[in-house]
Amino acid sequence: IIKKIQTPNRSFCNPPPLPPSLAIKKHLTMLSTVTSRILRATATKTALRTAIPSVGAVRNLNLHEYQSAKIMSDMGVNVPFGIPAYTVADAVAAAETIGDEEVVIKSQILAGGRGLGKFKDEDGVPGLQGGVHIVKTSEVEDYAGKMLGKTLVTKQSGEAGKPVNTVLLAKKMALVREFYFAIMMDRQSGGPIIIACSEGGTSIEDLAEKYPEKIIKVPVNLAEGLTTEKAMQVVEGLTVSGDKDAAVSQITALYDLFVKRDCTMVEVNPLAEDTEGNLIAADAKIGFDDNAGFRQKDIFEQRDLTQEDQREVEAGKWDLNYIGLDGNIGCMVNGAGLAMSTMDIISLNGGKPANFLDVGGGATTEQVKAAFEIITSDPAVEAILVNIFGGIMKCDIIAQGIIDASKALDLKVPVIVRLEGTNVEIGKELLVKSGLALITAENLDDAAMKAVAAIQ
């Protein structure tokens, strides 16, 4: 996360480095992937920092394109006909069902930039260039074989890439124009905001650089919903050439999807126009609020765990907030603010945090043990810093969890512990009597310095 945000990978943007706390804020809140990308392309240091809201325990569900397309179709949005395929045989059958001379084959991963991505080489054999192709039906078998079961690396996937377990076979559409369209929650206006551009089909970063004057933003009042006037404002901004009333209906259907399905983001790129002037959601990315899982069960049952960091998946089972980073000092802290401060001070002392892990205010000894297991599952971790301020969370509970985890896991890395707050003396006494080689610290600065020293 830190690397993604601190290291510019776009030629037109050069944002200032963010300390780990701000990087984590940016990731956890997921304040619209699109808005943050536009900000990186246009904002100053001050604007970028103030654009990042307060952090909370936020996880958001993302679905594949074929899953999103089905949900959009059910809500009345025009989408190309497509069939997901999980094997090469499925892909061949899907292409035959479509019945055209040419079809579109799209790798399905939870990351953008698939078209410009590249599959990893295997056994010296170069991987396929591009995760989206228009091919002849007779070529589907060959292309599906080079995609399924392979790893696709894109600008947004990170160097590790994402596994392709599904490909989407879609009907080739006669599209004459491409637009950009997205809806997400906007902190400044306190409600949904529609972002649209009369140019599309490429990344929003490129659009923000090349056509900043063509990007329109239309905030929507949640109480009154998307009015016909505001929907028409979007249609006019897109410069739709076909039936504008039909286009308004499509924009309204996309907004209804956003609200009724508890979305955090609906991004359609491109939102295209066919030869008859009809709007078609040619590609889509939708995110859903995890807090709505209880009433969107059919959607959350489609979650693809293979696309997620397995450490984050495991942390979720224990109600822990974990995000893996690229450092070598593992962190276990209670409270998001304290966790981010801990990472900042580690960096200030010359170290690199390996993770963000918030055990929350009511963790049990079993959760603490699980936290250690998750942290130590990262082979890059060379030391662990535990920083606990006991308020609701009691220091003796954390201390016992540390002891149990150390004994059960036979930890081979130094563990630095800083406790303060409720039952701190009891906690410290437990650590001393445990006989374990734990390194204690009196304050956060002391803890960070000892953690960095332990790996040098």
Token pair recorded at residue 244: 């504008």
- E strands, 66-124, in order: 82-85, 102-107, 118-119
Note whether 394 and 423 are within 8 A (CB): yes
At 39 the three-state DSSP class reads helix
CB environment 277-306: b (16+ within 10 A), e (fewer): eebbbbbbbbbbbbebbeebeebeeebbee
Exposure of 322 by Cβ count < 10 A (0-12 exposed, 13-18 middle, 19+ buried)?
buried
Please provide residue 194's backbone torsions phi and psi, each rounded to the nearest 5 degrees.
Answer: -100, 130
Do you know the residue count of the chain? 456
Exposure of 444 by Cβ count < 10 A (0-12 exposed, 13-18 middle, 19+ buried)?
buried
**Which of these is catalytic: 180, 199, 273, 322?**
180
Q: Which amino acid is at 110?
A: L
Tell me the C-alpha distance between 194 and 204, whole Å: 14
Residues 10-13: contacts with CB under 8 Å, at least 24 apart: 10/40, 10/41, 10/205, 10/209, 12/41, 12/205, 12/209, 13/40, 13/41, 13/205
**Which of these is catalytic: 178, 199, 267, 382?**
267
Q: Is 180 a catalytic residue?
A: yes
Residues annotated as catalytic (active site), given as ranges: 180, 267
